Amino acid sequence: MRPLVRGLLAGAAGTVALNVVTYLDMLVRARSSSSVPEEVAGRLAEQAGIALGDEQQAANRRSGAGALLGYVTGLGVGAAYGLLRTRCRGLPVWLAGPILGATAMASSDAPSVALGVTDPKSWGVQGWVSDIVPHLVYGVVTASTFNALTSR
């Protein structure tokens, strides 16, 4: 199996794990889902001059596009890892996982900050934990899955 495909599969597994941890957090703490992804999608559509329809259609499209942006990030980071991993073969999961998690977190948070959708200075401890933990799980699952697919 080619490194790119293994990376995509690993990124998909990591993305599922991130979503499961996020939804478990929502269930346990009875918190609502974040509106940040859909706000980012809306701002990007606005900047690109893309009309999203009437208010109901626009809300639905922002919601769907926000979720898809998360999948694009998770798959993209996994694919990049697959391609880069061929150059640094001895990287252990305990190191690769946090690096991948931080990369995925930065890849999703940086556009949010740049577009003025959120300000990390205002998150507080719970906000940071709610962002760091799922991304760390993403990284560990992605790195572990890639290793499992490679070690046959």
Q: How confident is the model at residue 152 (pLDDT cuts 50, 70, 90)?
A: low
Least confident of 16-30, 48-62, 76-90, 92-106: 76-90
User: Does residue 16 lie within any of the structural domains?
Assistant: yes
pLDDT tens-digit readout, 71-122: 999 999 999 999 999 888 788 999 999 999 999 999 999 999 999 999 999 9
pTM of the model: 0.94
Neighbours of 23 (CB within 10 A): 12
| CA–CA separation, 122 and 100 (whole Å) | 24
Whether residue 113 lies inside any domain: the answer is yes
Whether residue 52 is contained in a domain is answered as no
What's the domain count of the chain?
1
Tokens of 84: 């880069």
Q: Is the pLDDT score of 29 beyond 70?
A: yes
pLDDT digits 0-9 by tens, 116-126: 999 999 999 99
The answer to whether residue 129 sits within a structural domain is yes
- % of the chain surpassing 70 pLDDT: 99
Q: Give the separation between CA 10 and CA 146, rounded to whole angstroms.
A: 5
Within a domain: 62 = no
